[in-house]
Amino acid sequence: MSIEPITGRYLTVTIDGAHRRIYFEEAGQGRPVLCLHTAGADTRQWRHLMNDAEITASNRLIAFDMPWHGKSLPPEGFETEEYLLTTEAYIETVLAVIDGLGLDRPVLAGCSMGGRIALQLAALHGHKFSGFIAIEASDFQPAWYDIDWFHRPDAHGGEMGAALVSANISPYAPKAERWNTVWMFMQSGPGVFRGDLSFYTKDDSLIPRLPSIDTAATPVHLIVGAYDLTCTPEDAKRTADAIPGATLAVMDELGHFPMSEHPDGFRPFFVEALDKMPTMAAKAA
């Protein structure tokens, strides 16, 4: 028998004039690190790091389910709404969670669409953070698949999405974690993965903003897996090259969901990234 140190609670914030009940988890103490999940998934992707006593000894890891995802409900009236995430709504949500939880300039760590929005926040609201860890994150890629596949009445979008994203998981990933990773996609609500992908594959507004990111004030570190077909190492390098002072690490044996698909393989890269971020003492100085 074991009980994990992760605790989960609910936060209600106002986004775009309406209430959102948001589920968040946290573990640890010290420097706040806000963690953003990928499209079509939820907070569970971060559970291995949140259960890592060495990391949480000096870092307070916090992760939340975006509205429509995991245990966060969709907004009232969702039954007639087409879910299409936008950069603006995503930014507003992240900032509302930071305000709601009273976080003082957290490190922001995001994967995939979470990494994309981390870079948007670095460009537009950098002063509200102390640094950025952008995982499987890039300026922009159009879809190499038809996102409408994942929301149609004659097929199970979750099962199709899971089968598709498995292409982004490394053959080095332990079998159990590979399947735990795709399970989240299988559970995703109807149209949610599609709505996330709409944001991820159609909004290219980050490209002209990258050179304006001030890495002297807030460091930016990118991490990318060689088995990621969606954000390839070439995509991440192009993105890092466009941000003056950004750094990049390539993980040869990992894919698009590194913290979830292969926790042991990802850990050293995340620790290296945390080491590049300002400490609490440096922030206070």
Partner 1 sequence: MIDTFKHIQKSLDDTPHLLRIGRLFSETVLIEVGGDEYYLTFDKGRITSVVEGPSRKTPWRFALRTDAAALEKFWQARPAPGFHDIFGLVKIGRGQIDGDILSLVKNLRFFKEVLGLARAKEELPA
Residue ranges that bind partner 1, judged by CB under 8 A: 144-146, 149, 155, 159-160, 162-164, 166-167, 170-172, 174-176, 226-227, 229
Sign of the alpha-carbon torsion through 114, 120, 122, 128: negative
Nearest residue (CB) to partner 1, 166 versus 215: 166
Nearest residue (CB) to partner 1, 77 versus 171: 171
Nearest residue (CB) to partner 1, 120 versus 168: 168
DSSP 121-143: HHHHSGGG-SEEEEES--S----
Nearest residue (CB) to partner 1, 78 versus 145: 145
E strands, the chain, in order: 7-15, 18-27, 31-36, 59-64, 107-111, 131-135, 220-225, 247-251
Q: How many other CB atoms are there within 10 angstroms of residue 244's CB atom?
A: 13
Count CA within 13 A, CB hemisphere, residue 43. Answer: 25
Q: Nearest approach, Cβ of 262 to partner 1 (angstroms)?
A: 10
Q: Nearest approach, Cβ of 252 to partner 1 (angstroms)?
A: 8
Q: Nearest approach, Cβ of 44 to partner 1 (angstroms)?
A: 20
Q: Nearest approach, Cβ of 57 to partner 1 (angstroms)?
A: 27
- Report CA dihedral (24, 30, 33, 34) to the nearest 10 degrees: 20
Using DSSP bridges, classify how beta strands 220-225 and 7-15 pair: parallel, antiparallel or unpaired: unpaired
Q: Nearest approach, Cβ of 9 to partner 1 (angstroms)?
A: 34
